[in-house]
Homo-oligomer: A and B are copies of this chain.
Amino acid sequence: MIEKVVVIGGGAAGPKTAAKLRRERHDIQIDLYTQEDIISYSACGLPYFIEDIIQKPETLIIRTPEDFQKQNINIHTKQKCLKVNPEEQTVLIEDIETKNIYEVHYNILVIATGANPVIPEISGVHLKNIYTLRTVSDGIKIKQKMQNSKRAVLIGGGYISIEVMEALVKNGIQVTLIEKNKQILKMFDEDFAQKITDYIIGRNPGQVNILTNENVTYFEGNNKGEVTKVITANGKIIDTDFVVIGAGVRPNTDFLEGSGLKFSVKNSLRVDNTMRTSNHNIYAVGDCTDNYNLVTNRRTWIPMGSTANKEGRCAAINIAGDNCLFEGILNSTITKYFDYTISIIGISYKEAISLGFQPEYAIVTKQDKAGYMPDNEPMTLKLIADKNTRTILGLQGIGEGDVNQRINTVIPAILGKIKLESFMNIDLPYSPPYSPAIDPVLNAAQIIYQKINV
């Protein structure tokens, strides 16, 4: 008999679990503890708040603590979980303001502590005006600083840096992005990463610089302790008003050391497809858990807001006594730089090679609508399929055209293991304002099929 469920973490997955569980069951006590002062917000929207497409940070909040109280869910903000004791079924909590430490008992525990930004060990990294972007409070700080700045440096070439770059460029900031690898967006094949780089640099001539194969040696500050220069291994000295570090995140699971819970990729928590950890009474959801990759059939760790929401919903259903399986993910990601969509699903060609697949690919550059429609836009797709099984392994899509539609078309085809010869003739709806008569993604499938069958 479950009487009390304790949720730790207040980002996306924890509140989702609590809210869904309450809809399923009215007889369970639900307590949610979070170290932040707000809960249930969309971290993915933060770049658009900085950009000022969204004016108020509150707009990003999905449900307030008061909304939860109305649902009879007890929200405890500024309360940090220090330790979990699975044998006793207790968690140790610290009140961040009073420093008071207390124990809370649970029947079922849901760990949803998310992920924290990686802070690279670089001299000067703790100077003022060096930020990461993970919480609403981070976003507020960056937005305020941006408003009286002219130059910024972004460390790391992942999605968040691209999104922050758009925000800064739109607000007139001169931006330099520094990436230690030979390409930005490492999940993409190098050819596509290069095309994206070229687009970004060409989009606002002179305002953006992207340095690859480049490491920061140290950050230099002024006498107020504020960062003023970024010095690189290749001897570049970049004047700047502030820095945003987008060097990735890592699961927030350090406090679970010694708990006996099983860990997985990059210290994420190992969960099964019901979102249960290695302990029968403990579930975990969101960015702190590992994932099962349905293309590679391997455990992986891809922290995504959409996955967090689905996992929270699934865990709640299972805790409530019904049945929900979260089968896995396809590494699906999308972002944009101005009107240019950047998306990848499944695996890249290089990853397919490294995993021992026998991949073949096709690159197609086409207009997204009928060629004679005046508002059509170009896009480039790289479709990857396995020669042996003739199933699709992944798709990379970039361009001002409607890439998203094509990405979404391929996802169920990967999941359903639809063969190329079926997929290339699939009945996508056609009308000139929506696509060419034969959709570019089907052209790509046709080309791979012909390559394979030569």
Which residues of A in the span 314-340 have a Cβ within 8 Å of any Cβ on B? 314, 322, 324-336
Name the residue on B nearest A308 (C-beta): B437
A299 within 8 A of B: no
* Interface-central residue, A322, A418, A434, by most chain B CB under 10 Å: A434
A427 within 8 A of B: yes
Cα-based distance from A333 to B328 in the complex (angstroms) = 31
Given contacts A373-B48, A413-B412, contact A427 B307 (CB under 8 A): yes
A305 within 8 A of B: yes
A415 within 8 A of B: yes
Residues of B within 8 A of A314 (CB): 425
List the one stretch of A53-61, A134-142, A206-214 in contact with chain B.
A53-61
Which residues of A in the span 39-96 have a Cβ within 8 Å of any Cβ on B? 42, 44-45, 48, 53-54, 59-60
Please classify how large the interface on chain A is, using the bins under 10, 10 to 19, 20 to 34, 35 or more.
Answer: 35 or more
A128 within 8 A of B: no
Cα-based distance from A329 to B306 in the complex (angstroms) = 31
Against B, the Cβ 8 Å flags (1 = close, 0 = not) of A284-327 are 00000000001000000000111111100110000000101111
Given contacts A45-B370, A53-B374, A373-B48, contact A423 B412 (CB under 8 A): yes
List the one stretch of A1-9, A222-230, A257-265, A401-409 in contact with chain B.
A401-409
Residues of B within 8 A of A418 (CB): 412, 415-416
Cα-based distance from A442 to B325 in the complex (angstroms) = 14
Which residues of A in the span 322-379 have a Cβ within 8 Å of any Cβ on B? 322, 324-336, 341, 343, 345, 370, 372-374
Cα-based distance from A39 to B341 in the complex (angstroms) = 36
A103 within 8 A of B: no
Q: Is the CB of B322 within 8 A of A429?
A: no
Q: Contact partner of A408 among B48, B59, B304, B408, CB < 8 A?
A: B408
A432 within 8 A of B: yes
A431 within 8 A of B: yes
A118 within 8 A of B: no
Given contacts A59-B372, A421-B325, contact A334 B411 (CB under 8 A): no
Q: Is the CB of B437 within 8 A of A305?
A: yes
Cα-based distance from A370 to B334 in the complex (angstroms) = 14
Name the residue on B nearest A48 (C-beta): B432
Residues of B within 8 A of A326 (CB): 425
Q: Is the CB of B437 within 8 A of A42?
A: yes
Q: Is the CB of B426 within 8 A of A415?
A: yes
* Interface-central residue, A42, A328, A437, by most chain B CB under 10 Å: A437
Residues of B within 8 A of A108 (CB): none
Q: Contact partner of A53 among B329, B373, B407, B416, CB < 8 A?
A: B373
A235 within 8 A of B: no
A428 within 8 A of B: yes
Name the residue on B nearest A413 (C-beta): B412
Q: Is the CB of A437 within 8 A of B325?
A: no
Given contacts A437-B44, A437-B309, contact A408 B428 (CB under 8 A): yes
* Interface-central residue, A310, A324, A333, A421, by most chain B CB under 10 Å: A310
* Interface-central residue, A307, A336, A404, by most chain B CB under 10 Å: A404
Cα-based distance from A406 to B428 in the complex (angstroms) = 11
Name the residue on B nearest A417 (C-beta): B416
Q: Is the CB of B453 within 8 A of A12?
A: no
Name the residue on B nearest A47 (C-beta): B432
Residues of B within 8 A of A322 (CB): 453
Cα-based distance from A431 to B342 in the complex (angstroms) = 11
Cα-based distance from A256 to B426 in the complex (angstroms) = 30
Cα-based distance from A76 to B429 in the complex (angstroms) = 32
Against B, the Cβ 8 Å flags (1 = close, 0 = not) of A419-445 are 001110111111111100111001000
Q: Which 10 A-B pairs have the closest CB atoms?
A: A416-B416, A306-B430, A334-B429, A332-B429, A412-B412, A412-B413, A330-B427, A408-B409, A329-B427, A309-B437
Chosen A-B contacts, 25 in total, with CB atoms closer than 8 Å, are: A44-B431, A44-B437, A45-B372, A54-B374, A59-B372, A306-B439, A309-B437, A325-B425, A327-B422, A331-B427, A332-B427, A332-B428, A333-B431, A336-B434, A402-B405, A405-B408, A409-B409, A409-B412, A411-B427, A412-B412, A412-B413, A412-B423, A412-B426, A416-B416, A416-B418
